[in-house]
Amino acid sequence: MRLSTRNQLPGTITEVDIGAVMATIKVRLAGGDQIITSSITKDAAESLQLQVGQDATVFIKSTEVTIGVQ
């Protein structure tokens, strides 16, 4: 598969939490303890048959990253 997304981070799925509409997937990045959390649709998670322990690649394509604190 070839993609235009340049930020491709390999890792392993550590958690799959499927709700009524959305799913939360946690991926531990290769070579460290960093975890990326992704929210995707329930349908997408089921279609991909995501499972804990499965190798996965996180693709990040964003024009803006925002952080807010008080």
Q: Which CATH number fits domain 7-54: 2.50.20.10, 3.30.2350.10, 1.20.58.1610, 2.40.50.100?
A: 2.40.50.100
Tell which wins on pLDDT, 5 or 39: 39
On the question of pLDDT at 64 being above 90, the answer is no
CA distance 67 to 51: 30
CA distance 58 to 32: 14
On the question of pLDDT at 62 being above 80, the answer is no
- pLDDT at residue 68, rounded to an integer: 81
CA distance 69 to 38: 21
Give the tokens for residue 65: 């990253």
On the question of pLDDT at 70 being above 80, the answer is yes
On the question of pLDDT at 4 being above 80, the answer is yes
25: burial class by Cβ within 10 Å (0-12, 13-18, 19+)? Answer: buried
Q: What is the pLDDT of residues 6-55, one digit of tens each?
A: 889 999 999 999 999 999 999 999 999 999 999 999 999 999 999 999 99
